[in-house]
Amino acid sequence: MFIIESYPLAVASCVVTMLCWGSWANTQKLASKEWRFQLFYWDYAIGVFLFSLALAFTLGSRGSGGRGFIVDLLQAERQWLGSAFLGGVIFNLANILLVAAIDIAGMAVAFPVGIGLALVIGVFTTYAVKPEGNPSLLAAMFVFYLLGLGVLIASKF
């Protein structure tokens, strides 16, 4: 596999990655103003997936250090590969729904609600099975989240 061994090259790679991270929203503006944002996201996500596969079979399988891509893939258990794939599908579906909500309600409302709900659900499922006392804290957190949501809604009027 391709391993970056130079510190300056690693920092430069991180900077490029950071600059490209939110680029999918900007590339739609370059593509066409008539192309619906939600549909563009599908095409962009599929393109990134195919580009990642191309990199996996080229840079991921070349070089003197580490294992090749196929060897790495074959050593993983199927359940974890399936779990990673399902996580990617859910993440992208959530992004598409968030983009649709932003299109309808605007960024100021849709983003806090969408991300807030994801956090609340994530925290609830993670900590609901932990030691006693957590259910009351989780209930309080959920109540305050709903209050905050109510304040957001009320501010619109």
Contact between 77 and 11 under an 8 Å Cβ cutoff? The reply is: no
pTM given for the model: 0.58
| Average pLDDT value for residue range 150-157 | 71
Q: What is the DSSP string of 44-97?
A: HHHHHHHHHHHHHHTGGG-SSSS--HHHHHHHS-HHHHHHHHHHHHHHHHHHHH
User: 46 or 122: whose pLDDT is higher?
Assistant: 46
Tokens of 123: 């925290």
pLDDT tens readout for residues 12-38: 888 888 777 767 667 777 777 777 777
pLDDT band at residue 50, thresholds of 50, 70 and 90? very high
% the chain with pLDDT above 70: 81
What's the mean per-residue pLDDT of the chain?
77
pLDDT tens readout for residues 53-111: 898 888 777 767 777 888 888 888 888 888 888 888 888 777 777 777 777 777 676 76
Dihedral sign of CA atoms 96, 98, 102, 107 in order? negative
pLDDT tens readout for residues 120-134: 666 666 665 566 666
Q: What is the pLDDT of residue 122?
A: 67
First to last CA, the chain: 56
Question: Using CA atoms, how far apart are residues 12 and 29, in angstroms rounded to an integer?
Answer: 26
Where do the structural domains in the chain lie, given as residue ranges? 1-105, 106-157
Q: What is the pLDDT of residue 20?
A: 76
Contact between 17 and 79 under an 8 Å Cβ cutoff? The reply is: no
